[in-house]
Amino acid sequence: MSHALASEGADSRKNESGEDTRFAQPDNLEKPERAKRELKRAPLGPDSLLWKWGSDQRLQLLRGYTGVLQNMHPAIGQSLLDHSKFFEEPFARLERSTPQIIYSIYDDGTRAKMIRDYHHTIKGKLRNGERYHSLNPDVYWWAHATFVWRVIWAQELFGTPFTKEEKEQIIQEGVTWWDMYGMSERPVIDTLDGYIKYFEEMEDNVLERNETVDFALRTARVEPVKAPDGVPEAVWKVIWKPLMNSVIWLTYGTLSDKQREILDLPWTKKDQRRFDRIAKGVKKLFTILPEDKRYMEPGRSMMIKAGMIEGKYKEPKLADAYHGHDETQPNTTSNTTANTTAGTAKTDPKDGNADDRRAAGCPF
């Protein structure tokens, strides 16, 4: 069994009342010393594969894939029901979260810890009464693993697949990326074979069809959602249905057979042939794009700053740190990282409510 599914002790999954707590215990971030494991790591920087491919525009085509996989986890799916405006404004959630996740790859760890701190108060109970906490290492690791894997999967579907050695390197760079969160090493996987086995175990034992996933893949096809920022309401009324049908169908295609089976999603040979034609077209189109148009912000500008590609640098527009419920702290957008250090917090990030987190750019 992978580390991500293994418990830390024989009784660690049960509390004194016999309640299952597999997703309930948050990481002890104030623990002075942690048990260290011998993990394979690869450095992040201008020569790393995550810096080169972590903001590839083709990742846009896997937004649905990554979100669905994460929401298939019972704790993550339930957390959106309990704490999120995802159902009211799904596009806004992506617009809040994507730049921050991308930037954390290129940052020194400050942004990663800010993202982590958005999650202190995201907790509750699953449908079966079992408790969950979003800072439980197993829960948090699953979300992180999908972000690492999507870099590999984007090229598998829409580009030139990485070699086995390159996939191993990306996964080892993903360990270094995980280190930036300051979370427990216990669930970390550092090999390609380990990742493949982990995903299979998650599919067999953890991932599920739930209300959150059904909304994303079914309800959003027939019930209009709030327009993305910048799209006029009159235009959205005309385009939302064909657009959502196309986006959701594409998401079906990016999922594996096993994942579609869990979600009871139809997929025919005709669908696959159509998907393959689109994927081939995307691959061809990408080769003729100007180099600096092949990457999403803020990764694009970070690559320009590091001398990896040519182009005009844009100062990243990122949310300020979440300081908890403190009305003296303005919820503004920062154009530099100088204002984002956790040391400016006046309150404990464990305090505060969903509106505060959302204003600070919380993915939830």
Decide the pairing of beta strands 318-319 and 131-133. unpaired
* One-letter amino acid of 302: M
**Residue closest to 182 by CA, chosen among 284, 108, 241:** 108
Q: What is the spatial distance between Cα 191 and Cα 196, in angstroms, rounded to a whole number?
A: 9
- How long, in residues, is the chain? 364
Alpha-helix residue ranges (DSSP H) falling in the chain: 49-53, 63-71, 74-83, 90-106, 110-117, 137-158, 164-179, 192-205, 211-214, 220-222, 233-254, 257-263, 269-288, 299-305, 354-359
Contacts of 81 (CB under 8 A, 6+ apart): 211, 212
Q: Give residue 277's pLDDT.
A: 98
Give the C-alpha distances (Å, rounded to integers) separating 284 from 63, 255, 287, 291: 21, 22, 5, 14
Contacts of 197 (CB under 8 A, 6+ apart): 2
Q: Give residue 28's pLDDT.
A: 79
- CA quadruple 354, 358, 362, 363: dihedral sign: positive
**Residue closest to 137 by CA, chosen among 187, 78, 190, 75:** 187
Contacts of 205 (CB under 8 A, 6+ apart): 5
Q: What is the spatial distance between Cα 59 and Cα 149, in angstroms, rounded to a whole number?
A: 11
Count of CB atoms within 10 A of residue 248's CB? 17
Q: How far is CA 107 from the centre of its chain?
A: 16
* One-letter amino acid of 316: P
Q: Which residue ranges in the chain fall short of pLDDT 50? A: 1-12, 16, 32, 324-352, 357-364
Give the C-alpha distances (Å, rounded to integers) separating 215 from 35, 116, 363: 40, 26, 17
Cβ–Cβ under 8 Å, residues 278 and 250: yes
pLDDT digits 0-9 by tens, 234-268: 999 999 999 999 999 999 999 999 999 999 999 99
